[in-house]
A and B are shown apart, each in its own frame.
Chain A
Amino acid sequence: MSDDADLSRGERLKAWLSRARYYAEEFYSAPYRGAIARAKRDEDDLFMLMVFSELMGVPNPVGYYTLELQPLMLERFHDWHRRMGMEHSPLDDMRCC
C-alpha cells in the first residue's frame, strides 16, 4: 500500500497540478467566454465583408488578393449573411439557401 503511494506520488502531484490548472483556466475564461467570442466574431464579420465586397458592388483595392480567400470563407458565408439580417444570400451567383 505504502509502496504504491510512494511510486505514484510524483504522478499524483502531476495529476493534482493539472487539475488545479484546469480549474484556474476555467475560472479565468468561463465568465468572459461569450463576450470574447462575440468580439472575435465581429472582427471576422468585418473581414468577411472585405472578402466579398467586390461581389456586392463595393470597390475593394485588394480585391485581387481577397478573391483567393473566397473559397475558404464560403463555409461561413451562410451564417454571416443571416447574422447581417439577410434571410437569403444577397448575391445572385452565390446561392447557399
Chain B
Amino acid sequence: MSAVILLALGLGFMALGYLVYSKFIAEKIFRLDPDFKTPAHEFEDGIDFVPTNRYVLWGHHFTSVAGAAPIVGPAIAVIWGWLPAALWVVIGTVLFAGVHDSGAVWASVRNKARSVGALTGDVVGKRARSVFMIVIFLLLLMVNAVFAVVIAGLMMDFSSAVVPVWGAIAVALIIGQLIYRRILSLGMVSIIGVVALYALIGIGPSVPVQMPEQVGALSGNAVWILILFGYAAIASLLPVWMLLQPRDYINGLQLFIGLIILYGALVVFNPSLVAPMVNTDVPEGTPSMLPLLFVTIACGAISGFHGLVAGGTTSKQLNKESDVRFVGYFGAVGEGMLALGAILAATAGFATYGEWSAMYDAFGKGGVNAFVEGGAYIISNGIGLPEATASTLLTVMAALFAGTTMDTGLRLQRYIFQEWGEIYNQQWMKKPAVATLLAVGSCLVLAFGAGADGSGGLIIWPLFGTTNQLLAGLTLLVVTVMLRRLGRPTVYTLAPLVFLLVMTVLALFAQLKSFYMAENYFLLGLDIVVLIASILVAMECVATLKRLRQESAEQAS
C-alpha cells in the first residue's frame, strides 16, 4: 500500500477527531466556559500564573510532551505490522489521549491549577496520592534509563551524528549567553542558532566519531551511557537559562522543521509500505501483540506523562477555559502526527521486505534506529538530501529530544530525593549535588540492568510504557470522579480507563513470564513492583467508584 494513503487516512481521522469529537467533549462533557476566570487571571503574578496566548501555550505544551517516546514506541511496535500500530495511534489519539490531555488541563484549571498529583489527593484520596508518587518515581527512573540506552545506541550506530549532537549543546550554551547578556535580539539569535545547527548536521558525515566496540572492560555503549549521565547530571544542576531554555527553544524550532521535512519528503516520494500489514512471521521471542501493543506505544496513543505537564505549567497559563480544547486536545493530535510519521518511516523507509525484516530481527530491535534509517531513505529519495546527511538530521532530532527529556527527568528526580531528605530530616540528602548523584546512581543501575551492554535491545521499553499508562489511568480517574460529582456522563473517561488498566495488567503478566523465561531477574523484580503499583491503582479505582455510587445513592434518597 502507498504510504501517502495511510498518511492521509491517519491525518483525516485525527482531524475528524479534533473537529467533531473534541467539540463534543468540550461542549457537552467538560462544558468549557469562556467566561470562567482561569487561575492565570485569578492568581496572576507574572511568575507562574501568566495568561498566555493559546498558540504560544500550545507550542510549548506540545514541545514539552513530544519527545523521543512517540518515536521509539511506534518504531518498536511496527514489528507486529503497520496496521495495528497505525490503528492504535489514530484511535488512541482521538479517543484516549485527546480526552486525557484536555481532561487533565481542565481538571487542573477547575482546581486552582494544582498539579495532577495534588489533585489525586484532593479528589480521590490520600492513599491514591501515595500511589501516584510511587508511579511517578518509577516512571522517571525508567525514562532516564531508557533514553540513555536509546541515545547510546544512536551514537554507536550513527557516528556522523556525534559531532552535531554535542555541537548542538555548545550552540545552545552560546545562544543562552547571547540572549542573557542581551548581545543580540532573539530573532537574530534564532536564525543563527538554526543555521549553526543545520551547518553542524551538514558537516557531521565528514567528521564521524566512532566509539570503539570495547573500551577497557566496558563496551562502547556503556561508555556512552556513562558520558550521557555525566552530562545530564551537570545539565540538571546548571541554572535553566544557561542551557535548558535555549536548547528547548532550538529543539522546538528544529522539531517543526524536521516534521515538515519528513512529511514533505513522504508526500513527494510516496513510498510503498514494505512491512507487512499484519506480521504473521514475527521473530522468535516476540511477545503476543494483544496486550503488548498497547503498552509498547504509550506516547503517541496515550501517555500519563502529559498529565504532569498539563497540570504543572499549562494550566497555570491558560488564558480562557475554552482554550483547553485547542491546547490539550490538539497537543495530543500533534503528538499523534509525530507517532504516525515514525510508523511510516519505520515501515515504508526500506527498499525491500528483506531489509525491513533484517532490521526487526528481534523484539525491541529496530526502534529509533529503524526510524532514522527509514526516515533518511525517504528524505533522500523525496527531496534529494544525501542519505548520510538525512540520517544525521534525524539522529540529531531524536537524540536531542531524548537528551532534553533525560535532564528534565533527572532534575525532577533530584527534587524527589531532596523532598525525601526534607521529610525524613536527612540534611545530606537535601544538597543538590548529593541528590543528583543519588538520582544518577539509581538510573545507572536500571540502565545497566536493562541491557546497556548493547546486547538486549530495548527489552525494558514496554515496562516503561506500562508505567506511563498507569499514570494516565490515575489522571483519568481524577477526571472521572470530577465528572461524576458534577452529574455528567463518565463513560468517555471511564471506558479508556478500564481498557488501559486491563491491558496494563495483562501486559505485566505477559512480561513477567518472558522475563522469567529469559532469567532476567532484575527486570522481573521491577515488573513485580510495577504490577503491585498497578493492582493498587486498580483497587483505588474500584473503591472510588463504589464510594461515588454510594454518594449519589444517598443524594437520591
Contacts and interface: CB of A to CB of B under 8 A. Distances in A.
Contacts of A27: 56, 59-60, 249, 252
Contacts of B179: 28
A30 B50 contact: yes
B507 to A, nearest CB: 33
Most chain A CB within a 10 A radius of its CB, from B55, B56, B64, B185: B56
Contacts of A23: 53, 55-56, 59
A28 B239 CA distance: 15
Interface of A: 17, 20-21, 23-39
Given A36-B240, A37-B47, A38-B47, A30 B52 contact: yes
Given A21-B186, A24-B190, A35-B240, A30 B46 contact: no
Contacts of A20: 187
B313 interface: yes
Interface string B244-276: 110011001000000000000000000000000
Most chain A CB within a 10 A radius of its CB, from B52, B55, B245, B252: B245
B315 interface: no
Contacts of A32: 240-241, 244-245, 248
A39 B240 CA distance: 9
A36 B240 CA distance: 7
Nearest to B313: A31
A48 B60 CA distance: 34
Interface in B186-211: 186-187, 190
25 contacts: A20-B187, A21-B185, A21-B186, A21-B187, A24-B187, A24-B190, A26-B53, A27-B249, A28-B186, A28-B245, A29-B245, A30-B52, A30-B56, A30-B317, A31-B60, A31-B245, A31-B248, A32-B240, A32-B241, A32-B244, A32-B248, A33-B46, A33-B48, A39-B239, A39-B240
Contacts of B244: 32
A34 B47 contact: yes
Contact of A34 (B64, B185, B313): B313
Contacts, number: 60
A39 B64 CA distance: 21
B302 interface: no
Nearest to A24: B186
A30 B186 CA distance: 14
B47 A30 contact: no
Q: Which 5 A-B pairs have the closest CB atoms?
A: A37-B47, A26-B56, A34-B48, A32-B245, A31-B60
A58 B309 CA distance: 43
Contacts of A26: 52-53, 56
Interface in B23-64: 46-48, 50, 52-53, 55-57, 59-60, 64
B291 to A, nearest CB: 36
B412 to A, nearest CB: 12
A23 B316 CA distance: 19
A76 to B, nearest CB: 14
Contacts of A35: 240
Nearest to B185: A21
Nearest to B248: A31
Contacts of B60: 27, 30-31
Contacts of A37: 46-48
Most chain B CB within a 10 A radius of its CB, from A25, A26, A37: A26
Contacts of B47: 33-34, 37-38
A20 B56 CA distance: 11
A22 B187 CA distance: 10
Given A27-B252, A32-B248, A36-B245, 17 more contacts: A21-B185, A21-B187, A23-B53, A27-B249, A28-B186, A30-B50, A30-B56, A32-B241, A32-B245, A34-B47, A34-B48, A34-B313, A34-B316, A37-B46, A37-B47, A38-B47, A39-B240
Nearest to B249: A28
